Amino acid sequence: MSRDWTEPNVCIDENLTLTADNQLQLARWSIPRPVIDVMVTSTADGKVTAPQPVLPGVKMMDQQVSWKNDSPLPASLRITVTRGTRNWVVSNPNAIQLRDRWTRTINTQPDEPFTTSISNGRTGSAVDLGTNSVAEPNPGRQWLWMGAAESDEWLPQLLQPDDVFRMWYQCYYWTPPPWSDNANKNSPQHEVYSRYTRIMAWAFPQQGTLVKG
């Protein structure tokens, strides 16, 4: 049977959706949402037993994470890297430095994030108090604590539907040369702790394709 009237029809864009009984609702990807949350713990905290004068040094953390855009729309991504307290003890005249770095890609494998020439974070210290008349380093040690802090990165590209975001994080420590074996007047004390890094990502919604502007 044909109808002689037109039923009013309202189409909706991809950020709106319908429930099973045809009621209008907002799609779950229409608001910012957490999509990655991984805690990485250091596997090399404690005493520094040997000098590490060559970059990148000793690996403390190594973690790969990924997320596939499971929505029908592009998404932008905000990465948040939270570094736990870093602390170290270093003896005159030696140096300890922590470096971390992450690489990220869309749909390909990221390169291993060696911290040799490029790094995201870098923290450390040295106190050089010189030597006495028989070339022994003068006594002297330094303790330092750096509080937890965050580093945000807004991905410059959009993730298209079904795109896979991958990120590889690593943290190292090394001992920038030179290194004295009889530091702190033959009583060397060297420790380094990076505790944890938490890697989070939030996906942010984009406008649909049906209604633009």
Residues near other proteins (CB under 8 A):
8-16, 30, 32, 76, 83, 86, 95, 97, 119-130, 146, 149-152, 154, 204-208, 210-213
User: For residue 154, which phi and psi values (nearest 5 degrees)?
Assistant: -90, 120
Output the smallest distance, CB 64 to other proteins, in A.
22
Which residue number, 109 or 209, has a Cβ lying nearer to other proteins? 209
Question: What is the torsional sign of CA 106, 111, 117, 120?
Answer: positive
Are 162 and 185 in contact by the 8 Å Cβ rule? The answer is no
Could you tell me how many residues make up the chain?
213
Q: Tokens for 31?
A: 């608001």
Output the smallest distance, CB 202 to other proteins, in A.
10
Which residue number, 125 or 187, has a Cβ lying nearer to other proteins? 125
Output the smallest distance, CB 109 to other proteins, in A.
26
Which residues, 6+ apart, have CB-to-CB distance to 164 below 8 Å?
66, 67, 68, 69, 106, 107
Which residue number, 109 or 122, has a Cβ lying nearer to other proteins? 122
Type of residue at 191: E
Which residue number, 9 or 108, has a Cβ lying nearer to other proteins? 9
Output the smallest distance, CB 90 to other proteins, in A.
10
Output the smallest distance, CB 66 to other proteins, in A.
22
Please report, to the nearest 10 degrees, the dihedral formed by the alpha carbons of residues 48, 50, 52, 56 taken in order.
-60
Which residues, 6+ apart, have CB-to-CB distance to 204 below 8 Å?
32, 75, 76, 77, 78
Which residue number, 108 or 210, has a Cβ lying nearer to other proteins? 210
